[in-house]
């Protein structure tokens, strides 16, 4: 079946208005993620470093990827009004899930972040970022003049998620959400006073995390101590060294068996060991192409809401990818943050699918109908009468 520009129907309309370059880059990253899931699954399911495990995680990732593709396409079909409604519903559900996590979530390494549904583990905070980006853009782009400044309304909107994330605690997601809010205010033309306020909030939260959370204190001290890299980061660097330019080959990696969470937080190191700098470079290029493409499409939008929301959604993926890859190469302190599209996990993949579905919906090039003024109509009909 082929789709021409003359084809009618919702599917044809979607195909010719959606950003196909961003779509191909995204599915390219998902394909790489599936390939790396097969590479990392034996290590993640192994009982020791000698005997390989199975492809349990890889099989589950295939199902997650199929569902994520449906979410992306479904989200990209939304019109601006339905998009705002979907973002509001997602935001409320994610907030409720974050509260539920604090009450009933399993504690792992001193943090409560996940809801265990058996076959799937959900991290509600992952869905706060894309929904907040859309809602924050709607607030900043609103023409209605309320009693409170738009910046203050956006602060109240981000305040509850920040409090919940601090209570979990999840320092990485807190920093990412705070950076997203600051970036959107900056793009909206924020005053220097707000820049100082956001910087102060970020500094204060970072200082409190360093003082009150032991593993954050340990990782920061280890990173800035000038000594050897941490355990995971050190193994990741060895994996890159072992892989070299072209890698040791699919399934031939050995260091991945020693890296904790190699299938999720340190999947980039698995790519470096088995497929070398070549695949790592391709992954970085795809992320750059996707982020820049979405930013350019957002900048070209005619309305303020699309500009802000499109840029915010693009920044979510760009910042998270930068943090994950930066940790893997020891440029940033260790942080349990997944690599979008590529790391194992349904929660991570579904959240980034929602992000991309929203972004593709916003950046679709929909035809617009121009309304002529009465003066233009009179001139047009005057020309026609003169010709007649």
What digits encode the pLDDT tens for the residues 317-331? 999 999 999 999 988
Cβ-contact 126, 347 below 8 angstroms: yes
Closest alpha carbon to 90 in 129, 51, 37, 119: 129
Do the Cβ atoms of 317 and 180 come closer than 8 Å? no
CA pair distance 378, 269, nearest whole angstrom: 67
Residue among 355, 333, 357, 353 nearest 345 (CA): 353
- Domain contains 141: yes
Structural domain of residue 138, as residue ranges?
18-387
Task: Please indicate, yes or no, if residue 249 is contained in any of the structural domains.
Answer: yes
Tokens read off for 23: 């779509």
Half-sphere exposure of 348 toward its Cβ, with a 13 Å CA cutoff? 21
| pLDDT number for residue 198 | 78
Asked, for residue 207, whether it belongs to a domain, the answer is: yes
The C-alpha atoms of residue 361 and residue 324 are separated, in whole angstroms, by 26
Is residue 311 within 8 Å of 295, Cβ to Cβ?
yes
Name 351's Cβ contacts closer than 8 Å, sequence gap at least 6: 123, 126, 127, 129, 130
DSSP-assigned letter for residue 121: E
The answer to whether the beta carbons of residues 337 and 322 sit under 8 Å apart is no
Tokens of 54: 């199975």
Measuring CA to CA, which residue among 67, 74, 65 is closest to residue 18? 74
Element (H, E) at 106: strand 106-108
Distance of CA 294 to the CA centre of its chain: 13
* Total number of domains constituting the chain: 1
12 part of a folded domain:
no
Cα dihedral across residues 124, 128, 129, 130: positive or negative: positive
- Predicted local confidence at residue 2, as pLDDT: 55
Going from the C-alpha of 46 to that of each of 49, 53, 118, the distances in angstroms are: 7, 4, 20
Within-domain flag for 7: no
Determine the Cα–Cα distance for residues 40 and 55; give it in Å rounded to an integer.
9
Please name which of 152, 149, 147 lies closest in space to residue 197, comparing C-alpha atoms: 152
pLDDT at 372: 46
Looking at the domain assignment, is residue 5 inside a domain? Answer: no
Adjacent-strand bridge partners of 111: 108
Tell me whether residue 134 is in a domain.
yes
As a whole number of angstroms, the distance between CA 77 and CA 241 comes to 44
Integer angstrom CA distances of residue 368 from 75, 364, 371:
21, 12, 10
- pTM, whole model, 2 decimals? 0.86
Is residue 11 situated within a structural domain? no
User: Which residues are within 8 A (CB) of 337 and not within 5 positions of it... i.e. 6 or more apart?
Assistant: 172, 173, 176, 265, 320, 323, 324, 327
Could you say which residues of the chain have pLDDT below 70? 1-9, 47-52, 107-110, 144-146, 215, 223, 225-229, 365-388
């Amino acid at each position: 079946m082929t789709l021409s520009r003359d084809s009618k129907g919702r599917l044809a309309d979607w195909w010719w208005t959606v950003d196909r370059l961003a779509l191909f880059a995204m599915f390219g990253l998902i394909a790489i993620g599936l390939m790396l899931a097969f590479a990392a699954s034996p290590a993640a399911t192994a009982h020791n470093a000698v005997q390989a495990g199975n492809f349990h995680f890889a099989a589950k990732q295939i199902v997650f990827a199929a569902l994520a593709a449906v979410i992306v396409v479904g989200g990209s079909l939304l019109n601006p009004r339905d998009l705002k409604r979907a973002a509001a519903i997602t935001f409320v559900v994610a907030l409720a899930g974050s509260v539920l996590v604090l009450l009933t979530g399993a504690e792992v390494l001193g943090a409560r972040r996940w809801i265990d549904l058996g076959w799937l583990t959900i991290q509600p905070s992952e869905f706060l970022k894309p929904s907040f980006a859309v809602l924050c853009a709607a607030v900043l782009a609103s023409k209605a003049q309320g009693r409170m400044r738009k910046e203050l309304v956006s602060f109240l909107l981000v305040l509850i998620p920040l409090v919940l994330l601090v209570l979990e605690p999840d320092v990485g997601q807190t920093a990412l959400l705070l950076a997203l809010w600051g970036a959107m205010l900056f793009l909206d033309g924020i005053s220097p006073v707000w820049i100082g306020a956001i910087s102060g909030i970020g500094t204060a939260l970072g200082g409190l995390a360093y003082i009150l959370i032991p593993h954050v204190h340990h990782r920061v001290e280890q990173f800035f101590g000038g000594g050897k890299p941490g355990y995971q980061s050190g193994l990741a660097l060895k994996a890159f060294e072992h892989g070299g330019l072209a890698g040791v080959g699919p399934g031939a990696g050995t260091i991945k068996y020693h890296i904790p969470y190699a299938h999720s937080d340190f999947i980039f190191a698995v790519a470096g060991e088995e497929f070398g700098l070549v695949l790592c470079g391709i992954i970085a290029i795809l992320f750059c192409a996707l982020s820049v493409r979405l930013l350019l499409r957002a900048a070209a939008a005619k309305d303020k809401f699309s500009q802000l929301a499109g840029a915010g959604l693009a920044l979510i993926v760009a910042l998270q990818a930068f943090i994950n890859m930066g940790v893997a190469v020891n440029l940033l302190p260790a942080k349990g943050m997944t690599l979008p599209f590529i790391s194992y996990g349904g929660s991570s993949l579904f959240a980034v699918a929602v992000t991309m579905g929203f972004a593709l919906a916003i950046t679709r090039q929909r035809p617009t109908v121009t309304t002529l003024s009465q003066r233009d109509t009179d001139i047009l009909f005057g020309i026609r009468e003169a010709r007649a």
